[in-house]
């Protein structure tokens, strides 16, 4: 068995968006993204809305059919678009799970909490009888800090933080190895966020989970992840361990992203200088040629418009895609 649990190569996900024949248009949601995740590791994925981080997570689980690329899970090929290999997903759903962003929309309002958590147990026939099924449900609820009486209630009786706990219990019910956490805390209040973050960490230690943690809040991602990947308009622009990425970023986009985060410390906030980016993120329907960040980049020149920057290892374990790494550091 290899050390790497998840290996993604040149993942691509295009969504058709109108037009036909030669004029057919595509939203290039994810383009040429490669990364690996080790067993027991947390990889964070950050970026602005529309940068393709959620699409990446969902494509891995085949919630979208991939347009291109290869995904190797452990030793098994989940999909390889070029060779037209697509694995049967059912056995893998037991190993890979997802926690969704919005705990208000992702739970069926007509099902009790017990049934929501128990549905996956039924699908995978993990319980021999009703008693066993009930025991698993209660165990999962207790793991996420809820108790047995909650099993008979409906989602609307819970607060946002509790619902997110239910969403996590649902994902854990099949005892997965790998969980995609898709903005699991952005819908929660500040004082509740810390509770849920701590719970993710505890569960990882107890159950040996591997996470792909997707969020737009870099300070949260930095806190929970071992390594962080930064995405911009469908492409990965930088990847490094979380301390290096937040203290010594190489890519100009990462730099501006970090400097744009408001710091909750008035003295530091007054001293630090913000790099304020001009303009908005271009449309993924018609992304800029070459480097996709060039329209907002202070260092951009002609080469950035004509050549796609290569994804290369600048230092050991520190990847970036930029023509001008020397110039802007």
Chain residues binding other proteins by CB under 8 A are 48-49, 159, 161-162, 189-195, 197-198, 201, 216, 218-220, 222-223, 243, 246-247, 256-266, 268-270, 274, 276-277, 280-281
Nearer Cβ to other proteins, position 61 or 196? 196
Cβ-contact 84, 24 below 8 angstroms? no
CB of 188 to other proteins, least distance (A): 10
Q: In what order do the strands lie in the sheet with 68-73?
A: 26-38, 4-16, 68-73, 76-80, 85-86
The minimum distance between CB 314 and other proteins, in angstroms, equals 21
Residues 54-74 as b or e (16 or more Cβ within 10 Å = b): bbbbbbbbbebebbbbbbbbb
Q: Which of 1/264 has CB closer to other proteins?
A: 264
Closer CB to other proteins, residue 59 or residue 162?
162
Shortest distance, position 2 Cβ to other proteins, whole Å: 26
Element at 96 (helix H, strand E): strand 96-99
Shortest separation between residue 162's beta carbon and other proteins, angstroms: 7
Q: How far apart are CA 206 and CA 40, in angstroms?
A: 11
Torsion sign, CA atoms 323, 294, 289, 48 = positive
Tell me which residue of 312, 328, 185, 182 sits closest to 236, measured CA to CA.
Answer: 312
Characterise 84 by phi-psi region: left (phi > 0), alpha (psi -120 to 50), beta (else): left
Q: How far is the CB of 161 from other proteins (least distance, A)?
A: 6
């Amino acid at each position: 068995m290899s050390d790497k649990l998840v290996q993604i190569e040149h993942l691509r996900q295009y969504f058709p968006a109108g037009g036909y024949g030669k004029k057919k248009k595509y939203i290039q949601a994810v383009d040429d993204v490669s990364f690996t995740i080790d067993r027991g590791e947390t990889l964070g994925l950050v970026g602005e809305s529309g940068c393709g981080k959620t699409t990446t997570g969902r494509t891995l689980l085949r919630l979208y059919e991939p347009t291109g690329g290869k995904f190797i899970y452990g030793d098994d090929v989940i999909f390889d678009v070029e060779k037209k290999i697509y694995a049967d997903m059912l056995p893998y759903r037991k190993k890979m799970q997802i926690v969704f962003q919005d705990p208000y929309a992702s739970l069926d309002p007509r099902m009790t909490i017990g049934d929501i958590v128990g549905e996956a147990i039924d699908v995978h026939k993990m319980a021999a009888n009703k008693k066993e099924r009930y025991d698993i449900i209660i165990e999962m609820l207790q793991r996420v800090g809820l108790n047995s009486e909650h099993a008979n209630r409906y989602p609307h009786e819970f607060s946002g933080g509790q619902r997110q706990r239910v969403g996590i219990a649902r994902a854990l019910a099949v005892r997965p190895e790998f969980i995609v956490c898709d903005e699991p805390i952005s819908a929660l209040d500040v004082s509740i966020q810390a509770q849920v973050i701590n719970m993710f960490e505890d569960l990882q230690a107890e159950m040996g989970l591997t996470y792909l943690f997707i969020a737009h809040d870099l300070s949260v991602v930095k806190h929970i992840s071992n390594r962080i990947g930064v995405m911009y308009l469908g492409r990965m622009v930088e990847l490094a361990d979380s301390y290096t990425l937040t203290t010594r970023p190489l890519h100009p986009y990462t730099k501006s992203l970090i400097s744009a985060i408001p710091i909750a410390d008035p003295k530091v906030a007054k001293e630090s200088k913000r790099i304020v980016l001009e303009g908005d993120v271009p449309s993924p329907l018609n992304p800029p040629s070459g480097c996709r960040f060039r329209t907002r980049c202070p260092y951009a020149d002609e080469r950035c418009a004509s050549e796609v920057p290569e994804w290369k290892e600048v230092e050991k374990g520190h990847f970036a895609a930029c023509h001008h790494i020397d110039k802007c550091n």
